[in-house]
């Protein structure tokens, strides 16, 4: 897969978040939550107008160029929030975390801001650069789509259900257009044409004749998916207060963060159980039986989703903003880190395998009998 060049124009425009946030931090009118929400919406609107005036050709070619440009700006804002909350920056986004979205000051909020300000930011620049050069970016778009969806699926319900439910401000409802834009962007990304493969019909047939025992990489992935599925189910039962001794020992001695009243870890484990667990089962099926052409796309989506989720979950479990009683115990740190790191790496290895040798997942070419029926 070719890596598209980064969009320099979008990068320069997104860095405008630095002076904007510093100036707005000293405007007394933003001490009111409703005023803050209105000013935030106005800034995003003005930003869209600026992007349209600077790059009408790119937006006409692909409207997602404007979406990536606006989101790149907000990614810089999120990075400023994370750096400020960890004490690496001062005087930029204090007004927003106090009066706009105070739940961003939690450990989970800090780490989703770090992810958005680094990984998402680079993805936006790469995808905008691909649009500028008229290149494909479907694979990057699928990874971003999974990551963004997972972030919203956990963060928004966690804000409503956790201890910060009483801190919901008008700025929270700015998430509604984000969700709508995400649905539209996801549809456009999925509808893009796939990159052509160099696999001939003979290569596809030869690869699909091999059983799982003759494909050691696929066999290892099936074993991983099986074990990861059991681990997913187990942690889901833990947050559902399963009374077994194993669940009791795990939540108190290995991952006490699952009990944190902010609710993000509980929502995360339930999302894993209801969405990621079925995917693990379907992916194992697709690795055993040939012709499941849907797996490469969805492997990228779930790789992005699990990558974002594990980064936020692991980071928040050890962050100083998490109360000490809910942090990972020192004697369980190696086990916690190793298990969660493997859980994050597995979907990425699956996505890499699907892109590396896709012949097994392609639809089998028609046989002689099929061609004979088609001719008659």
Contacts of 197 (CB under 8 A, 6+ apart): 358, 359, 362
Helix count and strand count (H, E) for the chain = 18, 0
355-369: string of b/e by CB count within 10 Å (b at 16+)? eebbbbbbeeeeeee
- CA dist., res. 313 & res. 292, Å (int): 31
What is the model's pLDDT at position 2?
Answer: 54
What is the model's pLDDT at position 376?
Answer: 47
What is the model's pLDDT at position 369?
Answer: 42
Could you tell me how far CA 249 lies from the centroid of its own chain?
Answer: 30
- CA dist., res. 308 & res. 155, Å (int): 12
User: Backbone phi, then psi, for 322, in 5-degree steps?
Assistant: -80, 130
What is the model's pLDDT at position 337?
Answer: 94
- Prediction pTM value: 0.91
One pLDDT digit (tens) per residue for the chain, 376 residues: 555 566 677 888 888 888 888 877 776 545 666 666 777 778 878 888 888 888 888 888 999 999 999 999 999 999 999 999 998 888 777 777 877 788 888 999 999 999 999 999 999 999 999 998 888 899 999 999 999 999 999 999 999 998 888 777 777 787 888 889 889 999 999 998 887 777 778 888 888 898 999 999 999 999 999 999 999 999 999 999 999 999 999 999 999 999 999 999 999 999 999 999 999 999 999 999 998 999 999 999 999 999 999 999 999 999 999 999 999 998 999 999 999 999 999 999 999 999 988 889 988 666 554 444 444 4
The DSSP call for residue 195 is P
What is the model's pLDDT at position 3?
Answer: 56
Radius of gyration of the chain (CA): 23
């Amino acid at each position: 897969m070719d890596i598209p060049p980064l969009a320099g124009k979008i990068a320069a425009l997104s860095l405008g978040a630095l002076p904007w946030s510093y100036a707005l931090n000293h405007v007394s009118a933003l001490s009111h939550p409703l005023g803050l929400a209105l000013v935030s919406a106005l800034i995003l609107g003005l930003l869209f107008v600026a992007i349209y005036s600077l790059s009408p050709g790119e937006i006409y070619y692909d409207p997602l160029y404007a979406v990536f440009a606006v989101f790149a700006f907000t990614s810089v804002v999120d990075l400023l929030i994370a750096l400020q909350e960890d004490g690496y920056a001062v005087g930029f986004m204090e007004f927003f975390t106090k009066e706009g979205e105070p739940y961003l000051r939690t450990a989970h909020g800090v780490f989703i801001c770090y992810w958005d300000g680094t990984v998402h930011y680079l993805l936006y620049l790469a995808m905008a650069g691909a649009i500028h050069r008229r290149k494909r970016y479907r694979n990057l778009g699928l990874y971003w789509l999974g990551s963004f969806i997972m972030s919203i699926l956990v963060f928004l319900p966690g804000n409503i259900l956790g201890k910060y439910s009483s801190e919901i401000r008008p700025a929270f409802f700015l998430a509604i257009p984000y969700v709508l834009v995400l649905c539209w962007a996801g549809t456009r990304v999925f509808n893009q044409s796939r990159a052509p493969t160099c696999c001939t019909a003979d290569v596809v047939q030869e690869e699909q004749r091999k059983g799982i025992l003759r494909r050691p990489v696929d066999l290892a992935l099936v074993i991983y998916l099986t074990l990861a599925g059991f681990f997913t189910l187990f942690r889901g039962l833990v947050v559902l207060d399963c009374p077994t001794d194993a669940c009791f020992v795990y939540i108190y001695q290995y991952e006490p963060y699952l009990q944190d009243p902010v609710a993000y870890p509980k929502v995360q484990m339930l999302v894993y159980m209801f969405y990621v667990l079925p995917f693990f089962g379907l992916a194992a099926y697709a690795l055993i039986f040939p012709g499941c052409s849907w797996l490469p796309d969805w492997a990228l989506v779930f790789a992005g989703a699990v990558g974002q989720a594990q980064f936020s979950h692991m980071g928040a479990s050890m962050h100083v903003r998490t109360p000490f009683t809910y942090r990972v115990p020192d004697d369980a740190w190696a086990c916690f880190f190793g298990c969660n790191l493997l859980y994050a790496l597995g979907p990425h290895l699956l996505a890499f395998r699907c892109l590396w040798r896709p012949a097994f997942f392609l639809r089998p070419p028609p046989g002689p009998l099929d061609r004979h029926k088609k001719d008659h």
